[in-house]
A = this chain, B = another copy of it.
Amino acid sequence: MAVDRVNEVKKYLHRADKTALGNFLGKLHPADIGFMFQDLEFEEKLSILSLLDFEKAGSVLSELDPGERSEILLSLEPELLSHIAEAIPSDEAADILSEVPEEKAEKTLELMEEEEAEDVEELMKYAPETAGGIMTPEFFSLSEETTVDEAILALRREKNVEMLSYLYVVSEDGNLSGVVSLRRLITADGDCRLKEIVNRDVITARTDVDQEEVARLVRKYDLRALAIVDEKGRLVGRVTVDDVMDVIEEEATEDIYKMVGTDDEELSKKSILNVSKLRLPWLLTSLVGGIIAATIMKSFNVTLENVIALAFFVPVIMGMGGNIGMQSSTIVVRGLATGRIDLGHIWGVLFREIRTGALMGLICGVAVGVAAHIFQGKVMLGVVVASSMFIAITVAAAVGALMPLLLKSFKIDPAIASGPFVTTANDITGLLIYFFLATSFIRYLG
On A, residues with C-beta under 8 Å from B are 2-3, 29, 31, 38-39, 65, 152, 155-156, 158-159, 161, 163-164, 182-183, 186-188, 218-222, 224, 241-242, 244-246, 248-249, 252-253, 255-257, 259-262, 266-267, 272-273, 275-276, 279-280, 282-284, 286-287, 289-291, 293-295, 297-298, 301, 304-305, 308-309, 311-320, 322-324, 326-327, 330-331, 334-335, 338, 340-342, 344-345, 352, 355-356, 359-360, 363-364, 367-368, 371-372, 375, 420, 427, 431
Beta-carbon contact of B286 and A331 below 8 Å: no
Q: A245-B219, A249-B219, A327-B261 are in contact. Are A304 and B298 (CB under 8 A)?
A: no
Who on chain B is nearest to A152 by CB? B186
How many Å lie between the Cα of A322 and that of B282 in the bound state? Answer: 13
Return A185 CB to nearest CB of chain B, in Å: 8
Q: How far is the CA of A367 from the CA of B284 in the complex (A)?
A: 9
State how many angstroms separate the Cβ of A270 from the closest Cβ of chain B.
Answer: 9
Give the docked Cα–Cα distance between A420 and B9 (Å): 43
Measured CA separation A360–B164 after assembly (Å)? 50
Least Cβ–Cβ distance between A277 and chain B, in angstroms: 10
User: Is A31 in contact with B220, judged by CB distance below 8 angstroms?
Assistant: yes
B253 touches A344 (CB 8 A): no
Chain B residues within 8 Å of A224, by CB: 163, 224, 241-242
Q: How far is B256's CA from A253's CA once the two chains are assembled, in angstroms?
A: 9
The interface residues of chain B lying within 8 Å CB-to-CB of A65 are 340
A152 CA to B3 CA, complexed, in Å: 43
Cβ-closest chain B residue relative to A428: B315
B-side contacts of A286, CB under 8 Å:
319-320, 323
